[in-house]
Chain A
Amino acid sequence: MKNNTNVFIKNRGILIFFAVMLLAPFLIGLLEGSSPAVILNNRGSMSKFLEGLGIEIFILAMFALSYDLLFGITGLLSFGHSMFFAVAAYLTGIALKTMHLPFWQVVLLVLLVAVIQALLFSLVLPRVKGVTFTLVSLGLASVFHIIVMSSDMINLTGADVGLQGVPVPAFISPVSERLRFYVIALSLLVATFLFYRRFVASPTGRVCVAIRENEGRAKMLGYNTTLFKIVVMVISSLTASIAGLLHALYQPIISPGVADLGYTVMGLLIVLVGGVGTLSGAIVGAFALRLLDFTLRRYIGESAAIITGAIYVIFVLFVPYGIIGTMNLRQFKTKQGWQRLLGLLKPKE
């Protein structure tokens, strides 16, 4: 086993991704004939549009990452994951619009509520296992969805129309300062990814993988598995909440759809397409799905959802390891093949 301790070499994939994504707006700007200065002033139309798409993808990828940690790494299949995202999004919207809180307080509030939510889920965790946990999480999230959709809350949440007209602080306004928003979202995603990577390699992360593989055995090894699940829940909730916060700032309307089961399924789909439990799969999946959805909607229209659904079913049936998982498997096989070949060449001792 290689013990590459150099942080940069270990994480070269994501660092290259970071660099490419940072340069992308300028490269696209050059293609459409606008200088970097124009891009910096947020005036290039094409690159600005693509920056927007990028921001959406980064937000989705963060949401999917948090889902992958919960489901892919720890094996907790929650159907209430969109609640973390939606609560943060709505809270940001309401705090800025109705409560007029300063921005840093909003961020603190969102993070605090994220922890509280995770603990709420954790209250249920030790009691119910497997499928029942899935159902309970679905139940909790549906309650939130119902509350958001209810006409009694229309002044706060905008009910089924969605929350509109959130006053976004000028320094990260997605309209006038889109490039800054883009870089912030990208950096947050990369930072989260690096943290997750580190986490999965940490003693805590390894125990989480053990819990996914065989929870009973992990207990018998002397681990208080509930505690580990709570930690994962809190991390996952925090990440999803940051994604939700960005979503609320970026989107002109916070639609109640983000509180829906459908949004959780979206996260599941991204993770599945990218590769369950691979982390990088979440980013790849988010790119693949959002771009596909974007193209389909452009050329087919409404019924694109059926095709997305069909892709989902095809992945479940035929590509269970997802893009990254299948690639890793291939790589492993090729590596094995090479080793066998080298073994043949080596003189026998």
Chain B
Amino acid sequence: MKTTLRKNSKAIIILVVIAAFLFVAARGMSGKDVIITVLRGFSIGSVTFLVAAGFSLIFGLLDVLNLSQGTLYMIGAYVGWTVYVRPDTFVDVLTPILLILAGFSLSSLWERFAKRIQLGAKPQKIAAWVMILVGFGLLALILTRYPIASWDLNNYSQSPITYSYMADQGMPIIPAEAVFQKISPFVAVIGILVTSSLSAFSIALLNSGTATTETANWRKYFVPGVLVLVGVLALVFNARITSWMYGMNSNWLFVIAILVSVISGVGLGALMETTLIRPLYSRPIYQLMLTLGLGTIGVQIVQAVWGRPEFVLPKPALFTGTGGVCPATNLADLFENHCSTILLLGGRVRVYDEIFIPIVGIIVLIVVWILLKRSRIGMIIRAGVQDRQMVEALGINVRRVFTLVFALGVGLAAFGGALAAPSSGLTPMMGEKLLLSALIALAIGGLTSFPGAALGSLLVGLIQQFMIKYGQIGIPLPFTDAVFKPSPPLVPASTVLLMVIVLLILPGGLLGTKE
């Protein structure tokens, strides 16, 4: 009633602000410039939103500032690239990863052995450390011998840049298959399973003193069973799957690439929350420092694996049509010829970058919004953001919800990375840049507010793009004939300036609640 009215009035004010901003910003620009700039703003805003939304969900519910969000965005992009450009590597890597996961979930198998040996607290601790060292040592030994078809950072003709370029030209290089030489496949499979479950078990032993005993049932073995099965199948049919993926329609391959990067994001998120974040809920500042540290490690790892130089993820066939009726002038032409560009008010607009990404962003916004508003889990999340103790008091397993939200948030970031990769390109620096934009967007919109994340991201995207555009055409200054051209450093500076102003007036952000 009165409160909803107040909320709405705020939304109206914000719409007015955006409209006024657009009106002022667009003065002195031609129609086509305005539309391209606005669309680009939406595009950047959408990608920022995907990272910021996850960030705000995690912060709102868990009170964790996940500063590794940018790195996870970057990892999403690199994973997407690997699946899309080098399916063979992906299929090769799939088996060990699934087996390790299966091993980790099978860790409780070791309990029976542990029960027989009764040790004091200290010997047990030492034994656990020894087992961790042995487990991880052997695992590392096996993994270094496991054959994975990969690229060579030191050899330009086999570097990711070349693979990307050739795939973009429509002539992907299909590298030679990696074969088992140093280790037999059987030993590799069993070895990975055993060593990973041993290490996982000893970690659990170290954490709790005694490993948790759960009642054994078939479900406990169902998930690891499936993982092992899929892993072994991927190994047996490795060559076939690889050639099938290479021969696949690029649109579908792109969809698979995005799916894989989302799944790996979700998996990484769940793993991070359960193993690293969870022990630190009582020390929030340490959590923050931890995520920061993980972020930097992630960047280093990406640099070591994929290299420093920038390369792109080629766009799928749906967005690369040229010649003939392209650039398309109407929708029919666009859909028929899969044009890469379209003419709007006389300006050429790239379909993937400036139409597709914003649409996906809006769809995600709506889906997550509905999820939050309508589903049971969404209601728990919203209630938890309001008052966590209350939710705990209601007897809901908050831990599981925490893991889920963290995984979801990271998944959104990884999705954003894979989605943005074809338009922004991949560099180890991409995460940090985007994290900064996302943080600014959140500070503007309100740290724990989901609509705030959307609004802030949109504003950040629009301001950046208008500043870039003005950097090209210049702002006609009033009362003089001089033209002011904002130089590139002013682009991020302007968003930071907006953030500082907003925070000074409304410390909680535009849509945030007061502390």
Q: Which one of A134, A142, A147, A262 lies within 8 Å of B296 (CB-CB)?
A: A262
Q: Are A129 and B515 in contact (CB under 8 A)?
A: yes
A288 to chain B, nearest CB (A): 16
- CB-based nearest A residue for B65: A131
Interface size class of A (residues with CB under 8 A): 35 or more
Q: Taking the complex as formed, is A320 at the interface, i.e. its CB lies under 8 A from any CB of chain B? A: yes
Q: Taking the complex as formed, is A268 at the interface, i.e. its CB lies under 8 A from any CB of chain B? A: yes
**B235-243, B282-290, B403-411, B413-421: which lies at the A interface?**
B282-290
Q: Taking the complex as formed, is B123 at the interface, i.e. its CB lies under 8 A from any CB of chain A? A: no
- Residues of B within 8 Å of A131, CB to CB, are 59, 65, 288, 447
Q: Taking the complex as formed, is B321 at the interface, i.e. its CB lies under 8 A from any CB of chain A? A: no
Complexed CA–CA distance, A72 and B59 (Å): 23
Given the interface pairs A317-B276, A320-B283, the reply to whether A152 lies near B487 with Cβ below 8 Å is yes
Q: Are B289 and A143 in contact (CB under 8 A)?
A: no
Q: Taking the complex as formed, is B496 at the interface, i.e. its CB lies under 8 A from any CB of chain A? A: yes
- Please provide the chain B residues from 475 to 515 with a CB less than 8 Å away from any CB of chain A in the complex: 487-489, 492-493, 496-497, 499-500, 503-504, 507, 515
- Residues of B within 8 Å of A37, CB to CB, are none
Q: Which one of A139, A147, A265 lies within 8 Å of B439 (CB-CB)?
A: A139
Q: Are B432 and A136 in contact (CB under 8 A)?
A: no
Interface size class of B (residues with CB under 8 A): 35 or more
- Residues of B within 8 Å of A150, CB to CB, are 487-489
A244 to chain B, nearest CB (A): 21
- Residues of A within 8 Å of B488, CB to CB, are 150-152
- Residues of A within 8 Å of B285, CB to CB, are 77
Complexed CA–CA distance, A152 and B289 (Å): 34
B153 to chain A, nearest CB (A): 11
- CB-based nearest A residue for B505: A127
- CB-based nearest B residue for A71: B285
A270 to chain B, nearest CB (A): 12
- Residues of B within 8 Å of A138, CB to CB, are 436, 439
Complexed CA–CA distance, A269 and B432 (Å): 19
Q: Are B300 and A77 in contact (CB under 8 A)?
A: no
A87 to chain B, nearest CB (A): 15
Q: Are A139 and B440 in contact (CB under 8 A)?
A: yes
B484 to chain A, nearest CB (A): 14
Q: Are A309 and B439 in contact (CB under 8 A)?
A: no
Given the interface pairs A128-B507, A131-B65, the reply to whether A139 lies near B496 with Cβ below 8 Å is yes
Q: Taking the complex as formed, is A272 at the interface, i.e. its CB lies under 8 A from any CB of chain B? A: yes
- Residues of A within 8 Å of B443, CB to CB, are 132, 135-136, 139
Q: Which one of A127, A139, A310 lies within 8 Å of B507 (CB-CB)?
A: A127
- CB-based nearest B residue for A269: B293
8 closest Cβ pairs, A-B complex: A309-B297, A150-B489, A312-B293, A139-B496, A306-B300, A316-B290, A305-B300, A143-B493
**Chain A residues within 8 Å of B, Cβ to Cβ:** 77, 124, 127-129, 131-132, 134-136, 138-140, 142-143, 146-147, 149-153, 261-262, 265, 268-269, 272, 302-303, 305-306, 309-310, 312-313, 316-317, 320
